[in-house]
Amino acid sequence: MKNIVKLLPQLQIILLIIFIGSGFIFADVTRKRTELSEGTFYIYYDSENKEIAREKYSHNPFARELISGQVPDGIVIEKTKDGDYPGTIEENYKDGKPDGLVKSTMSLQGGTVISELKYSNNGKDMQIKTTTTFGFGSSISTSNIIDGKINGVSRITMHDEDGNITTTMEMTYEDNEMVGGVKCFDKNGNYDPKMSKEVSERMASLASMKMPESGTSKNEEETDLLSGKSILLVIPSGKGSDTEQGIVKKMLELNAGTTTVVELKDGEIKLDAEGFDAVLFLGCMESSKSFWENKTVIDFIKKANSSNKVIGAIGFAPSALAKAGILKEKDATAGEGEELQKTFKDNGVNYKKKEVVVAGNIVTANGAKALKKFTNELIKLLQNKK
């Protein structure tokens, strides 16, 4: 299951790439997107930075209207704005018109994403191939947009650092709706029912998740619920915890909480709770368990608890709280699995089959589907913390 869920939102992210604004880089023909009083335009420049053409902007190449000049045949390059997604976009022109080939390269979440898009049917259909490279390996995903909607089989293959396939995921879509869940296959191409079930359930819970209502929206009464409160979020690097981090972080910040994220990396674990009111351990996936068995992490949990911090843990992370001894003779919950159950039993924890359990200053949750309740309970504890 290692690193799989981290890339689940990838297809949706890639569809946004071609919408990002642009600036200059050196090439035979470059372009930038410009906002003018009469609308938004692509303005094209030659190697001497002279305007040679202007088009009415649209992310769909076939929907653009040539206003002036002529775009020469060949590749046009634009540079995306500095910020969250810096990179370049290359688009091919033939006979003065885009031929539907688009290549995007950009930095994303510590890695590199290269997308190749082929438009057809006047821009209503699109074939997408995306290669994502991170420190722990890479993935290649393919999908099809038909009449403006995701249809057919979308596939993601995960590769290790040597380029070997470790896992393949297949998802079948009908008009943007996934049909039949996710099918996962191991490195030999054998169907893995356990992994398929876990990933399917996780995707379903995340797809249906909405930002919570009471206690988490930024309205007049609740704007400053966590004003002056500082929360440390601890996540295992590359273990599929980015989604949990994003949701919990946003919910806390909507209520004026200050958040700091620390990633646990192999051979590089440094933790300090000084100055924080709460410490949250986010690691829903089984692949994160090696971090929750780490002595540095367990000692840190003991120290945070003795300092009366609010402590939260979700998925596999509650096992670390159990091993630290702070859940002894207390009620708690965690992700499913015999190993977790045994850890709780061996450390005197009263396991409760619930989504969320509060025991004094500690909140535990059983997985991603409980993120809303989990964060709301943390907010309550932080509100009452002096």
| Mean predicted confidence (pLDDT) in 99-113 | 79
| Cα separation, 190 vs 187, whole angstroms | 7
Q: Which of 22, 130, 142 is nearest to 86 (CA)?
A: 22
Which position has the higher pLDDT, 141 or 289? 141
Dihedral sign, Cα of residue 212, residue 213, residue 215, residue 217: positive
Task: Decide if pLDDT at 336 tops 60.
Answer: yes
**pLDDT score recorded for residue 369:** 77
For 159-163, 164-168, 205-209, 374-378, which range has the lowest pLDDT when averaged over its residues? 205-209
Closest CA to 156 of 135, 142, 144: 142
- Look up residue 318 and give its two tokens: 């509650």
Q: Are 100 and 61 in contact (CB under 8 A)?
A: yes
CA-angle at 359, arms to 353 and 364, nearest 5°: 50
Structure tokens at 310: 């609010």
Lowest-confidence pick of 1-10, 33-42, 371-380:
1-10
Decide if 305 contacts 298 (C-beta within 8 A).
no
The fraction of the chain above a pLDDT of 90, given in percent, is 26
Whether 262 contacts 234, CB under 8 Å: yes
Residue 202 structure tokens: 């996780």
- Cα 235 to chain centroid distance, Å, stands at 13
d(CA 248, CA 207): 15
CA distance 1 to 186: 10
Average pLDDT estimate for 330-346: 88
72/26 Cα distance (integer angstroms): 16
Residue type at 14 in one-letter notation? I
Q: Within the chain, how many helices (H) and strands (E) appear?
A: 8, 22
Enumerate domains of the chain plus CATH numbers. 5-207 (no CATH), 230-384 (3.40.50.880)
Angstrom distance (rounded) from CA 320 to CA 138:
29
Joined tokens for residue 223:
């704007």
Rounded to 10 degrees, the C-alpha dihedral 217/221/224/225 comes to -80
Query: pLDDT by residue (tens digit) across 341-366?
Result: 899 999 999 999 899 999 999 999 98
Distance CA 130, CA 141 (A): 5
pLDDT over threshold 70, residue 268? no
Mean model confidence pLDDT for the chain: 79
Residue 299 host element (H or E): helix 295-306
- Interaxial angle between packed helices 242-254 and 371-384, expressed in degrees from 0 to 180 and rounded to the nearest 10: 40
262 by Cβ neighbours in 10 Å (0-12 / 13-18 / 19+) ranks as middle
Over range 223-243, report the average pLDDT. Answer: 74
> Which residues does 268 contact at the CB level (< 8 Å), separation at least 6?
none
pTM here?
0.52
Residue-level length of the chain: 386
Give the mean model confidence (pLDDT) for residues 87-96.
Answer: 87
Confidence of residue 214 (pLDDT cuts 50, 70, 90): very low
Q: What's the mean pLDDT in 77-101?
A: 78
Q: Please tell me the distance from the alpha carbon of residue 351 to that of residue 221, in angstroms, as a whole number.
A: 36
Under DSSP, is residue 293 helix (H, G, I), strand (E, B) or coil? coil
Which residue, among 167, 176, 175, has the nearest Cα to 199 in the 3D structure? 167
Q: Which two tokens stand for residue 58?
A: 């649209």
Pair of tokens at residue 341: 């159950």
Measured CA to CA, the distance from residue 79 to residue 180 in angstroms comes to 39
Residue 169 binned pLDDT confidence (cut-offs 50, 70, 90) = very high
Q: In which element (H, E) is residue 377 found?
A: helix 371-384
pLDDT of residue 86 exceeding 50: yes
pLDDT of residue 18: 35
pLDDT tens track for 6-42: 444 444 444 344 333 333 333 478 898 888 888 888 8
